[in-house]
Structure formats: structure tokens, C-alpha cells
Structure 1
Amino acid sequence: MISRKFLLVISLLLPFSFAAFAQQDSIPLSTVIEKTAKFQSSYPIEKVYLHMDKPYYAVGDTIWFKAYVTVEKHQPSGLSGVVYVDVINSQDSVMENLRLPVKNGFANGNITLSGDTYKQGSYRIRAYTNWMRNFDADYFYDHTINVGNAIDNQVNTFITYKSKAKSTTVKVDADITYKDPANNPYADRRVSWQLIRNGDAVSKGSGRTDAKGHLIVDIPENDPAIITSGSLVTAIDMGERKSVTNSFSLKGAVKGYDVQFFPESGQLTNGIRSKIAFKAINSKGLGVDVKGTVTDDQGTVLANLTTAHLGMGVFAITPETGKAYTAHITFDDGSQATYKLPRVQAMGINLAVYSPDPDNLTVKISANELFLQRKQNKSFYLVAQSGGVVYYAAQTVLQNLVYSANIPKSKFPTGIIQLTLFSSGGYALCERVIFVQHNDQLNLTLKTDKPSYTTRQNVKIAVSAKANTTPVVGSFSVAVVDDTSVPTNEDAESTILSNLLLTSDLKGYIEKPNYYFNKPDQEKLDNLDILMLTQGYRRFSYEDILADKNPPIFIAPEQGIEVSGILRTTTGLPVGKANIRLLIPDRNFSTETITDLSGNFKFSNVVVMDTSKITLSARNNVNSKNLVINVNGELYQKLSKNPNQPDEIVNIDSAMRPYLDNARRQYQNSRVLKEVVVKSTKFEKKPSHNDFGTFAGLPGQADHEISGDQLKDCPLLVNCLSTMAFGLTYVDNNFYITRDYNAGKKVPVQIYVGSMPVDVNFLSTITGAEVASVEIFLKDGVSGINRMNQTNGVLIINKKVIKKQKITLAQLQALIPKQNVVTFAIQGYNKAREFYMPKYDVTKAGALGADLRNTIYWNPKIITDKNGVASFNFFNSDARGSYRAIIEGLDSEGNLGRQVIHFGVK
């Protein structure tokens, strides 16, 4: 169940060291508090965080993870019983979609990065529940991982860009180095290249590498948007009519900077001294160091500015009406630029917050003379909330230019606090977001049984979990990795603290989020406050809350897999009080339900593993031959651009070299030469569009083709095509030609199975094993298909040919589908594998060959007992050096914890 103890809001008007009310308010402060509490109670905030065993991976690896599903103040959620995990590639296509059962707020799973599906590059891991889909997808768990290839990668590359801006175009040169896995250059090799955008070649050329394996690719001048939204694809000649293709993103190829300015509380007001935060980023979205001055329109220098951390900093000025202010910025490469500061408001009131000591916040409200004249003796409210819960509220009557008050930090939980100043009419005048850090996370300790170890030795680690000094029962996950092959920047990691306390509540990219929680000190707290000034927080709109404008709820919280639909007669009338039977042949399971008066039926908490066929039958009813079952389709989450794109690594071969070198040794150590038997083959004609007269006018060759072998392990065809259909984009349950969709032409592709036209939902009834090939035509030739169907492009599914044989009339009738019986595929729960842990007898050295694991241990189910203790053990690999053990988790009260230790292996 969801705990409600944090919804108890004191409705008393808390003192603010101000005068009492002098007039009747149009909206009492109690109304603001009550409506906010009602909104939070009706729309609780659910979050998902994934603890993964490593920060990056290689093709062939398995990603091990634990999902923490929380609600309200980070308590384990009882709201949702299912969590979804998507793997999305850099082209914003879903590679995999996992559905996992959630028990008591926790789930665990794994993703195998098979070489058939995954290539070297950057991928997103996105996680959410159905309840979260009712709200802004910006608050989903969304994390970028980089995946290298140590197995099939014959060519290691390193690329840098140089750009030069013209009047309306930009010139880019790409400097690429090609080397083999042993770091020897590929000298004097021919390389052809293409600039690809939306599947089309914008420009192309060729060249030869020099003696050091270098090649300069001279990309012709073009529009900056064309270059930065495209990719550079090169093919290096490997001899014997073979070549190796590499693709490079051009997102950061054009050098550029941007600086934004953020006045505290949202505006600059005449005569009120204000802090102004700024954020300077490069074209990749990463912070850059700058320095500069701020001048008025007379050239007078009013402030000096310099970055404090990751391109962010703060300065203060006292603005005046009628004056314009300019920031003169010098970037770290010596280039310069000027930026106008926001316009000065002639009348207004500002809200400033300071943290003068560890125990108190100082809130300062400043009005200018004009505002005081017009609003004197008017009432104002200050409300502070976190996660929708109001923790502080106060009221005053405006009588002076400046008010200030201290608020004890003890009133607030650790995390983001939003302070809003309201007029008495309920209008939000200004806001300030702060972060309160109590350092009250769980006291987690990991203690090894020895000071150091040898290779393959058994390691025993004791776990202790306390809230302050009180032992707690909690659920935790533990990963142990080899520091040498998995070097890690702890500041850049996504952790349970940085996610649930910070990034899950903020929109936009947060660079190195764990910096603020990794051994925090005063400098990091100051930089965190600057981050609060620059980053947007918009989970709640007080304007909507006070106007009773509630967000539409189109998906209810999901406790399990549901199968639902409606039963109708062949004439379309709903059939109430009828029997529907559900069968799962794989599990030898069946159950029944009754339709309601509108013909609707629903089976709740259907347990299906992986992808299974489900059969629904309405035969056990009067006049059943005239009944039709319609099944409600499953909803798929829309795709969006990667919010953490700056975390994508272009030069994976060099950035992840220690990890990939170890992965290559692992592969070579485990490789076994298999016997090759050459047999004669008999040619068999493959099914194609040429088999049907319907497609006589299509081109003889498809623009793109997907073979049946590529689809053989695909559980649901629609999911796989959304990723594998090159040249097409899958959006809103339709396929579109990518280049046309991006140009604004949103006309869907016509889909056929054989010669039968179908909609996208039909593809959810087909598995990849049934498909011989998929053909994609970006143009319909002279067939007239697009004109007749008002479509754009053709997608043809060629199913495997079933061997012909004679059957009886009874067998034929059995093959004809009945409308009162429906069989379809459904995505079930993905079964989590167990992490393999070898066991060694240290007296028998050399057994089982070299052990080159880099994830030494993974356990998502560490549970501390009533004394707050637990333990686990594992065997080391053959790697010597430092190992890193990480534990994360939470207790039933929502107290978070994370601890990292290192131990030596000799």
C-alpha cells in the first residue's frame, strides 16, 4: 500500500515575522495548501531508478540491473505492479522492450547485448510504469550507456572535427585515424565516405590514409542543420574485395557556444539587487569555462563573471529601468561573444534565498518603490513544497520594501524544494528552487573479512544498514567490478542518490550528477545551488492546481498484465452477460469471465512469461456463431529525443580501451574452433513481392530488405520492425518514410502481409519465426498503391511458405478462423536470469582456463534483517589490482543509501 503519512499538512498559517492580515483575501492561504495536498493525493509521483552493474558495456555483455519503483518520499511503491524497460538506439528506435513484474516496489532483470542485434554505439535505457505515462515523459528514468565492440571490430577509429562558419553555411573537416586491434595504423588504404541524413546521401567522396592511418575528410559547405543532424559513414578497403564500415555522429561537429542567463526568482526588477546565474555550453551540450564582464549601455562595468563549475556561475547587479545590460564573454579557446541580459521590469517583487548556516534558510522578499505604491497593504503568501507536499506556508501584508525571515531546514526533507510567492488572488509572482541536503541517507557499510585477497579467493562481505543509529530492514543491490578493466568516474555516474533526489525532478541534461553527492562539501553545495538557479523545475503548475485543472488520466495504475476487449454481434451490437474464456496453451492454463452490460470484458493479472499466444473464446454462449471478439491493443510509449545526448561517446575505441581490451581477451580465451562441413545446397525460391500480381507495378528490387534470419528470434514483429525497418520511422502506431516525416509529410506507409493489406496492429499477431523476409519500398513505382490508399511507401511482409499437403474437409474447416475465437501474441514478463558465479578450490590452480570477468559479482536481492545486517560472498577472478564494491538501496520508509568500497587482489 502507499503510505499517506507525508500528506498530513498543517493548515495553520505559520508565522513569517510579518504583520497580520489587514483585509479579506480573495483566496485564503489554506485553499492553496488544501488544493495542493488534494492534487498530490490524487496524482502521486511515481519514479523508477535502475541500478546497473557497470557504467558501460561491450557487445556480447549482459546488462544486469535492479529496478527501484518508488512513490511519494521514495518509499517502495505499491501503486504499480509492472515496470517497462526500453533499449533505444541513437536513431531513436526501440531495440528491446522489457516488461517486468514489480514486487513490493522492486524488480530485477537483464539485457543481453547480442552481436546480431547490437552494434558499437550509444544506447538509451528508459524505464517507466503505466501510471507514469499519464505525465511528462521527461521525468522517466532515462540513462545513456555506451557499447563497444571487441569481437567483430577489425578497425579502431578516432575522429576529431574542425569547423569554420560561413555566412549561412558551415565548413567541416573530419580527421580520422584508422588502426587495427593491435594499435597498428592502416596505412595507404582507400576510404570512401558519405554524409548521410534521413537515410539519404547528402554528399560523398573518397581518399587514402597516410602512413599513420590518418585521413582528412573534406565535407563540402552545407547548412549547419543538415550537417549536425546527419552522420558520416566511411568504408575502408580491407583487401580481397572486403571493406569495413564505420559511422560517426556529426552532432558535435560544428563548433559553437551558447550562454544563458537566469535571474533569481525569474526576472530582473528595477532597483532590486539580484543574483543572476549563467550556464555556458558547447555544441555537444557540455559545460565550458568562461570569464567576462557585465556592462550597461554606457559601457560601465557592473560585474565580473567567471564559471564556478561545469560552465555555471553566478554574479549580482542592481538593474535600472531603461538600461540595457550586456555580458561580454571570453571562452576557454580565446573566442569572444556578447549576450544581452533579460529585460528589466519597471515594477515587481523578487524572492531570494540564502543559506547562511547549516541549520537555516534565509528568505528575502524585495519589492521596488513602484510595486510598493500599487500593492501596499495587499496580502502575499509564501509556500514551500517538495514532491507536491507543502512543508511550509506563511502570509504577510506588504508594508515595506524588504522582508526577511529564517526558516529552519529541519522543516524540509532532503531534496528539491520549490518556494513560490503568491498574490492573495493565487497568482504565482516568482519562484525559487533550492536543494536541502541533510546528509541523512542510510548509514551503509560494507566490511570485507580480510584486508586483501588473492586471485580466485573467496571474499566474504558483511552488510550493515542503519538510519542514524537504528538498524533497518532494507532492500539493496550489490555490484563488484574490476577497477582496472572498468575505470570509473564516480562524479559522472547515475546513482540512486543523484537520480531519486535530483535528476528525476529536473528537466534537461545534468552533467556529472553524482558530483554533488560524492563526498559533498561546502563548495559542492554552493555549486548545487547554482545548478538549482539554472535548471528548470516544472512538475507542478500552481495555476492549474488552483483552477482545478487536473491532468487527464488515460492509463490506470497497472498491478499486472491485463487482457481486455469487447464482445459484439456480427451486426456490431455489444453483448452483455456473456461468457469469455481465456486459454494460455504454453501454461496449460484457462480461466473465464463475464462481459458487462456494454460487452466489455477484462482479465486481470494474467501471468505470461516471455511472448506467448493467448486464445479467447466466446463459443460457450447462445448463438455463438454470430459473436465477434475485439481485443484492445497494447499501448506503446512514444519515442522522444535523447535528453542525455551529451553523454554519448563518439570515440568509443579510445575512451573504453581498457574495457574493450579485456573483452577481446575474454573472447579469444573462450573461442573454440568448430568443425566446418561443406555440403551441396539446393536452391529454393524465396517468397517476394513478385509472387503477387498486386505488386506488378512496384520496382523489381526493394529499397531495403530484412531477411528472415534477422527476424528469427523476434517475439513480436511490430516491435522488431520499429527498430530494423531502415528508412522508416515508427511513431504513433504507424510507419512513415523517415526523410518525408522529418520534412513534415506525415503520411503513413501501406502495410501488406502477402498481398493482404493490414494495419500495424495486425503485426502484433506475427512472430519473426513466421517471416521469410520484409521488403521496404520508399516509392511505389507505377503500381498506384499510394494513390489508391492515400499512403506513402510500401512495407511487405513475406511469410514463410508452408509445404502443401492434402487435407480433409474437417481439417480445412478447422483452419478457417472463427470470429468468436481469437488467438494473438502478447508480450509477457521477461524472465530474469541468475548471475553466474564460479566456485574455485584455490588449491587447484589453473582450473577452467583464464577467468577474465569484469563484473565479479552481482546480486539484486540483498535484504537486511531486523538487526540491519546481511552478508554475501563470491570468488575473485584472475585479475589483480583493485576491485570496487557498490551497494545501493532503500528501506520501507524511503531512506536512501549508497556506499562504495575498494579492496585489493594480489
Structure 2
Amino acid sequence: MSLKKIALSLLMVTCFVAPALAQRDTVSLNTIITKTSKFAYSYPIEKVYLHLDKPYYSAGDTIWFKAYITADRHQPSTLSNIVYVDIATNQDSMVKVVKLPVTNGVANGNIILTPDVYKQGNYHLRGYTAYMRNFDNDYFYHKNIAIGNAIQSVVNTNIAFKTADAAGKQKITATISYKQPGEPALANKRVNWSITTPAGDEISKGKSTTDQNGLINVVLNENASASLKNATLTTSIELGNRRESLNKFALNAAVAERDVQFFPEGGELTLGVRSKVAFKAVNNNGLGINVKGTITDNTGTVVATLESQHLGMGIFALMPQDGKTYKAIITFADGINATYDMPRIKPAGITMAVYNSAADSISIKLSANEPYFKANQGKAYYIVVQNGGAIYFAAQTVLQTPVYSAAIPKSKFPTGIMQLTLFSERGIALSERIIFIKHNDMLNLTLTPDRKIYNTRQKVKLSVLAKNKTLPVTGEFSVSVVDEDKVPSDENAENTIFSNLLLTSEIKGYIEKANYYFTGKDQNADANLDILMLTQGYRRISYRNILTGKFPQIQLFPEQSGLEVTGMLRNNTGMPVAKGNLRMQIAGKNQLFETVTDMTGNFKFSKLNFPDSAQIVLNARNNVNSRNLMISVEGDSYQPPTKNPYVTDEVTDIDSTIKPLLLNTKRQYDNLHILKEVVIKATSLVRKPSHSDYGSLSGLPMMADQAVPGERFKDCPNLYTCLPSMLLGISAENNTLFFSKNVSNPNRKPIQIFINGRPMDYSYLNTFRGADVENIEVFRNDGLSSINKNYDSDGIISIITKKIEGTKISLAQLQEMLPKGNLLTYNAQGYGVTREFYSPRYDPLKQGAFGGDLRSTIYWSPKVKTDKTTGATFMEYFNADGKGTYRATIEGMDADGNLGRYIIRYTVK
């Protein structure tokens, strides 16, 4: 449905009123509907979902993904023609930004996880459009990606925490094991450890020696002077004459903090009104934990009991009485007790309860206590049900009795979250509730293999069939096949097209194991989903802002013209040049683009298509007095790194959690790694360039605090994105670099960057490739140089680029080669280069070297389209050498926004 059709339907919605509710219209209700429909029309909601080939990775892998960009009710978006996918470290330093063209609401791409760039750890993957950046980034696509590094790491570690009472105080101990892949435990090895805060400040440190089982015990809070919450434990082990740096372990799981929150239905408890109260018990990581308990009043009388039903959540009923206060006495699974005050009680009020268990309707119950009913009898009240500003039901009633009920057919609502709001006749929201409507109307999507059991390297034919109910449909789908023995996963915790587009993209806040509510494997899932709705808040729109006309400020419009190059043409006095001629060439393309500046000197080249880091040449020589002209270009606007809302999904112990994948990656690497004979004929010492070669930096300390050779940056397409992630303790924020330990300091100062001895802004690094770097040095203090004082900075980064050898030229030749103001050459960020997934073909008549095909992703296809007549298609590929269970997953949508997902498994022997 188009946005215009949605807007029209909103204005007609008042005729759909439940029989039990009065059908009298008012200006106030019309105002709510009209202003909300205007919001929905003016600010359509766009979403991005990424289907990945697998849930976690190893360094050396490739992340294969397909992006689904939707608007309205999950229909393929026609708003944005460019989608952005980026990945950052868990310290919020950007590593890679990929820009992709969108066609019919989809795009596909990949991110290569180069081992020397992607260290072992947790990474934050995001997907969004430029238009989505106008709104809260919590509604971007977010996913925590665990990446192990079996290639560079020679030691596997495992950590476990234990809490005990010691002399009345809590003693927290971490037990860490050390083992080399395929080898016995590392016994009698010296280990250094330290505990640091997120800012990089050291809390505690120590030394230990592994026992015969390769274990050490570290008492985490023995010398710690600060909380262990959000702290990190780092260890290094001595192996012969070298020290091996190991994983960093997040210590959130070690802290035995826990909390219980209570959520009265409708928002608040009301005196004398029986209400449902949902609760959620979580540990320090934000994960649900089981609890039992009682609700007692101030006389000690038990008025309710509670017990968690799913992931720490549950529900009970409570009727507050006059003169009573209430407390919850909670018992956690480990026997620890805690007491919590219940939420405040309104002395006078009206509440809305919603019952969503019936198959064909929802029931609404309005309950006003006696003081409120006496003061408001005969007044009008409105009930509005909406999602994203699209109103699906609106009705009015008059408060004639203290308790009033009505039923609304579920057929009025689509599948997904609905927000129900009770308004006073003055347009004030009095009570609010969100529910989830399930029609079980997803696409009937199936995958059928041509047999149930296969041999290794045998051809597989997968048939696809897509139907909407019984009618065949054409749609956009993606298929992933993985060796499940190498990539085991928890289906409940997976990020799927259902859990994302229907649930997590709609609600702010973390939802644990969101796909559990869609797998259909638990008969209590719908009841638990309703409890989840009671504990979450829908904040896509604010009625208060809508009714007062406070709409979002749109700074970035949907990118509908593909890649663009924009800028301004000026003369040497700085004045804009109107009607100026510009030409543009893209390296590697035999095309010439031309345009003319507007009356204010601005120019724009639109509908371009060029790869990432392409060299762009702009030429203004075809103008009168062209020697006096200057060209400036507007750089790309980047979305800065943000906190990962799904940081709770971070994997504390990567070595153990994804051990099957890491072992497989190590075997793959060993199969490929052949040591060749090296003959050293002569040696000579070659002096490497350093900061001391430049007078402006000569006062810096001789030894840098951190020195990184240019070889490390050879695969970096853009220093702007790579630098923060490849330098230790460096963070980027608002186009500025800081030391990570200073990020939370309000009086922090930036790091000053020098390129070949010349001061530069961080944004200038957009023009440099990693392959151009000779070396990079980081200085925490400026020695005798006074640089920090002169530039009001805190630290220096010196970047030295590679020198280009050349021949002597004349002065005239040099002048000709110098850049002119009317000619500008720079590297622009184009579309990411999309690789094709390699799927080998095997000849069954030829005996190959079996055992060498160790792929974990067996097959990936982001371009699966079903036939519009039959709804069918098929694909063929060959199995690898891994034996066991293979899992095939298909996801996608049709042109009408109907979503589909299906999983099958088959056996390889």
C-alpha cells in the first residue's frame, strides 16, 4: 500500500467502531486521527534487515549478507536507493563501512574478515539508510557478531566465575584455562593479568602460574577499588621466549548484581482497581533469571504470589487497598533474597486492560475507581489503536459506569505490534498498552531437497516453493546452507526476518531470544509474548509531540538518485561561480559526465555508479578565466559509531562458545599454510622513516607509545574508518579522535594528527588509503615539542606515507604537474564491491583429495526469485567434506510485504 493510500485510510478509520462502543464522533477524536495520519504520511518508517549466512564467524571468514529494506507494512521500500552496512569494535571504533545500491527493496554484499584487522572479540554490525539517520538509531538494524581468531591465536582459553562468601564479604573468583589446539593443557606457565575499566584505567593486576591442568584462579575483587561492572580482564601467558597476548574477558557476568522491575498494565496502579502486574528479573548482563516471591502489604499479609514463567518474566494480579503499601519479597535461584517496593499507587484514576488470548478478537476493559468516576462521569473517552502512525481502529465512548468492556475483531489489525491508547476528551493519554497480533499469515515458504541423505561432495538440488496461503507468489529470497556440526546455534536466539521486522525493530530496549516467540515450538510462547509486551514500551511515535505539532527535523532525505558528487565552484576571491561548466571522470570508466552550477555556484552529479575508493577527477577548465577557479567537494556524511543496544548478546568466552568453528578454521588454515624455503643471501639495515625526520615533530619522544607498520594497513580502503580500530586505546567521536580512557571526561581534548609532519583534521583521512601508509606512531605525551599546548590537544598521531621514487624534472614540468584549483582529484566512497560466493563443482567420476573441503558455509545465494506463475524455483550446489547435519535456511518477502522463513536439515554421510 502506498503512503497516500495509507493516509486516505486513516481519515476513514472512524467508521470502524466496535458495537459495544458509542459511535459518536468529536472534534478531539478527529484531531488525533488527522494529526497522526499527517505524521504517518510525512514521516514514513523505513527499516533494514540483514540475513546473514551464519550467526558468528572466525577471522578469515567472509560475512555474506542480503539487506531487505522495507517501508509501510514491510513492503519493499521505494524511498531509499542506497543502504549502509558497517561494523565496529565493542569499543565503538569503526572498522568498515559498506555502501550498496538498492533495487526493488533489496541489496546484497559481503565483508571480508581479514585476520590482522579483525582481532578476536565482539563486533557491532549495523544496517541503515541515510533517511533512517533522522530518527533514533535504536531502530537501525543491530546485531552483535562474535569473531574468533584461530589463525593468529595459538592458545585457547576458557573462563568461569564463582562467587562465595568470605568473612561476610562477597569473594568473586575467575578460573581460566589455557590450552594449545590439539595439545595438552599448558601447565607451569607464567601468566600476567590486569583488570581495567572501560576508560582504560587499571583497577588491579597480578601474576600467577598455571597448574598441571593449565588453570589459574584470579580473585577479581581482592584489590579492586572500583566496581567490576563493565570492567575487562586481560591476560598474557609466557610461551618459551615470547609472551602471547590472549583474549579480553568482560566481567559483567562475574558480578552478582540483579534487579527486578514491575510493570502495571496501562502504566500505573490505581487504588481499588484490580490490575495485572508484569515483572522482569535480570542479572547484571541484562539476561532474565528465574525468581519466586510474594507480595505483602504493610501488615505482613501475603496478597499475591509470583513465579517467573519465561526468561525471568511473569505476571500476577493486585488490587491496591486504601491505607496499604506493598512490597515484593523475591527469592532468586541461588537462594538469595531481596525486597523491592511496588510502584506508586494513584488515589484516583482510570486504567485500560487488554485481553489477547481469544483467536478472533481482543477485549478491552476500562476500570475507573470511585473518586475518578464521580469526578468524570458522562465525559467522553477515546481509544486509538495504531502502529507507526497508521491508525487501524479509533472509537469513542462515554464514561457511564465504573467498569466498561468492549471487543474488537482482530481482523482489523495486521500481524505485528499494536499500541492501544486511552485518551481523555482533551486529548491527554491516560493509559497505554501494546499487544502483539498473530494471524499466522506468513508466506507458506518451503525448501525441499531431492533426497534426505547425501554423501560428501554430492550434488544437492533444493526446490523452493512460495505461496501466499494457496496462491503462488513471486518474491525476493536468500538461502544459506551451513554445516551445523561446525556452526551450531540456538534457533531461539537467532536474529530472523520475523523477530527483527515484526518485533525488535519496533521496540526500544533489549529483547532476549526474540526468535523464541516465532519458532512455534512452545505452546506457551504466545502467552509469554503478551507478558513481554507488558514489560516493553512502544516509542515509535509520541502523541504528545504529534498533538502539539512537534515533528522531527529532517536533515537527510532519502537517497533516490544513487551515488552523487556535490560541491561548489568558486573564483579565487571566494565568490561562487554561477552557470559554470564542470566535467567529471571516474578512473576505469570511459565516461565523461558534465553539469552546470546553479546560481549559487553549487553543482551535483547524480545517478552515478562507481566502486569503493574510486578516483574521481573534476575539471572546470572549460570556463572563461578557468585558471582563477577553485573546486570544493562535499565529503560523505558518516554515521558515527553508537553504543550497541544488543551488547547483552556479547560472548564472554569466544574460544569455548564457538569452538567447533574455530577448530575448523584452524584446520583450513593449516591445510593452506605451506612453509616455503627461504634463502637469505645478504642482510642490510635500512633506516625506516620516523617522526624525527620532520622538524615540527622533532621534539617528540624518540620512542613512540605505539608504532604500527604500514603493512598492517594494506587492506584498509580508507584510513578514516580503519584507524580507530587498528590503534590500541583510540576512539572516534564526532569526527575527532580521543584516547579511550578520556571518552567519558567532559573536559577531554582531541588527538592531533600529523601527516608527513603537517597537522591535519581527522576527516582529511578520507582521502588516504591504507596502502599509502609507511608507518604510524602514537604519542601519549608531546615530550619537548609543546604540540599539545599549541594545538590544545592531548596526544599525537604521526602518519608517514610512502615515498614515490621518480626522476628529475624541469621547473616547467613541475609547475605543470602541480595541482590546479580548477582540477580536483580525490578518492570517493562508492559502492562496495560485491563478490560472488564460491561454490565448487565436483565430478563424481573423479577421486579428489577428500578431507580438504572444510567449508562451514556450504552455500549462499542472495538472489533467489520465485516464478510468479508457479511460485517455484530451485538451486544446485555440492556438499563439502564435512559429515553430519547440514542446515538450509531461506528468508525473504514478496512484493506485498508478506514475510517468509523456513528451515530444513539433511544428513551427509
TM-score bracket relative to the smaller structure? over 0.9
CA distance, structure 2, for counterparts of residue 684 and residue 550 of structure 1: 63
Deviates more, 1:889-898 or 1:477-486: 477-486
Q: Which of residues 823, 831, 834 in structure 2 aligns to 1:832?
A: 834
1:891 is the counterpart of 2:894: yes
Contact in 2 for aligned 1:356/1:362 (Cα 8 Å): no
Q: Please list, as runs of the form range in 1=range in 2, the aligned pairs for 1:580-599 lying within 5 A after superposition.
A: 580-599=582-601
1:707 is the counterpart of 2:709: yes
Q: Please list, as runs of the form range in 1=range in 2, the aligned pairs for 1:539-618 lying within 5 A after superposition.
A: 539-559=540-560, 560-618=562-620
CA distance, structure 1, for counterparts of residue 31 and residue 257 of structure 2: 48
1:39 aligned counterpart, secondary structure: helix
Deviates more, 1:178-187 or 1:729-738: 178-187
Q: CA deviation at 1:260?
A: 0.8
Contact in 2 for aligned 1:496/1:898 (Cα 8 Å): yes
Contact in 1 for aligned 2:20/2:407 (Cα 8 Å): no
Q: Please list, as runs of the form range in 1=range in 2, the aligned pairs for 1:616-627 lying within 5 A after superposition.
A: 616-627=618-629
Q: CA deviation at 1:381?
A: 0.8
2:30 aligned counterpart, secondary structure: helix
CA distance, structure 1, for counterparts of residue 229 and residue 356 of structure 2: 42
1:252 aligned counterpart, secondary structure: helix
1:754 paired residue number: 756
2:48 paired residue number: 48
1:416 paired residue number: 417
1:31 aligned counterpart, secondary structure: helix
2:115 paired residue number: 115
CA distance, structure 2, for counterparts of residue 610 and residue 167 of structure 1: 61
Distance 1:168 1:628, change over 3 A: farther
1:71 paired residue number: 71
Distance 1:534 1:676, change over 3 A: same
Distance 1:704 1:2, change over 3 A: farther
Distance 1:845 1:164, change over 3 A: same
2:14 aligned counterpart, secondary structure: coil
Q: CA deviation at 1:287?
A: 0.6
1:501 paired residue number: 502
1:901 is the counterpart of 2:892: no
**TM-score of the two chains, using structure 1 as the length reference:** 0.96
CA distance, structure 1, for counterparts of residue 208 and residue 826 of structure 2: 53
Q: Please list, as runs of the form range in 1=range in 2, the aligned pairs for 1:203-214 lying within 5 A after superposition.
A: 203-214=204-215
CA distance, structure 1, for counterparts of residue 170 and residue 718 of structure 2: 43
Distance 1:549 1:64, change over 3 A: same
> What amino acid maps onto 1:248 in structure 2?
F
Distance 1:183 1:411, change over 3 A: farther
- Calculate the aligned-residue CA RMSD, in Å: 2.1
Q: Which of residues 684, 687, 707 in structure 1 aligns to 2:686?
A: 684
Q: Please list, as runs of the form range in 1=range in 2, the aligned pairs for 1:181-330 lying within 5 A after superposition.
A: 181-182=181-182, 184-197=184-197, 198-221=199-222, 226-330=227-331
1:872 is the counterpart of 2:872: no
Contact in 2 for aligned 1:224/1:254 (Cα 8 Å): no
2:720 paired residue number: 718
CA distance, structure 2, for counterparts of residue 481 and residue 604 of structure 1: 40
1:128 is the counterpart of 2:131: no
Distance 1:692 1:172, change over 3 A: farther
2:707 aligned counterpart, secondary structure: strand
2:799 paired residue number: 797
**TM-score of the two chains, using structure 2 as the length reference:** 0.96
Deviates more, 1:357-366 or 1:247-256: 247-256
CA distance, structure 2, for counterparts of residue 538 and residue 102 of structure 1: 28
Q: Please list, as runs of the form range in 1=range in 2, the aligned pairs for 1:328-407 lying within 5 A after superposition.
A: 328-407=329-408
CA distance, structure 2, for counterparts of residue 689 and residue 2 of structure 1: 59
CA distance, structure 2, for counterparts of residue 628 and residue 171 of structure 1: 67
Distance 1:346 1:625, change over 3 A: same
Deviates more, 1:658-667 or 1:603-612: 658-667
- Structure 1 runs (4+) greater than 6 angstroms displaced: 164-170
1:729 aligned counterpart, secondary structure: strand
Q: CA deviation at 1:278?
A: 0.7
CA distance, structure 1, for counterparts of residue 729 and residue 386 of structure 2: 47
1:531 paired residue number: 532
Q: CA deviation at 1:521?
A: 5.3
CA distance, structure 2, for counterparts of residue 695 and residue 151 of structure 1: 37
1:636 paired residue number: 638
Q: CA deviation at 1:622?
A: 1.9
Gap runs ≥5 in structure 1: none
1:243-275 deviation per Cα after TM superposition (whole angstroms, max 9, x unaligned): 343322223221211111111111111111111
Contact in 1 for aligned 2:194/2:204 (Cα 8 Å): yes
> What amino acid maps onto 1:495 in structure 2?
T
CA distance, structure 1, for counterparts of residue 226 and residue 892 of structure 2: 43
Distance 1:342 1:166, change over 3 A: farther
Q: CA deviation at 1:562?
A: 1.4
> What amino acid maps onto 1:178 in structure 2?
Y
1:735 paired residue number: 737
2:778 paired residue number: 776
Q: CA deviation at 1:588?
A: 3.3
1:463 paired residue number: 464
CA distance, structure 1, for counterparts of residue 161 and residue 225 of structure 2: 14
CA distance, structure 1, for counterparts of residue 506 and residue 280 of structure 2: 19
Contact in 2 for aligned 1:13/1:395 (Cα 8 Å): no
Gap runs ≥5 in structure 2: none
> What amino acid maps onto 1:79 in structure 2?
L
Distance 1:21 1:789, change over 3 A: same
Contact in 1 for aligned 2:17/2:23 (Cα 8 Å): no
Contact in 2 for aligned 1:172/1:219 (Cα 8 Å): yes
Contact in 1 for aligned 2:53/2:63 (Cα 8 Å): yes
1:216-251 deviation per Cα after TM superposition (whole angstroms, max 9, x unaligned): 123454668653333211111111334343322223
> What amino acid maps onto 1:717 in structure 2?
L
Q: CA deviation at 1:356?
A: 4.1
CA distance, structure 1, for counterparts of residue 235 and residue 610 of structure 2: 44
Q: CA deviation at 1:53?
A: 1.0
Q: CA deviation at 1:787?
A: 1.9
1:513 is the counterpart of 2:534: no
> What amino acid maps onto 1:347 in structure 2?
A
Contact in 1 for aligned 2:713/2:770 (Cα 8 Å): yes
State percent identity of aligned pairs: 52
2:184 aligned counterpart, secondary structure: coil
1:380-417 deviation per Cα after TM superposition (whole angstroms, max 9, x unaligned): 11000123210000001222111111111110000000
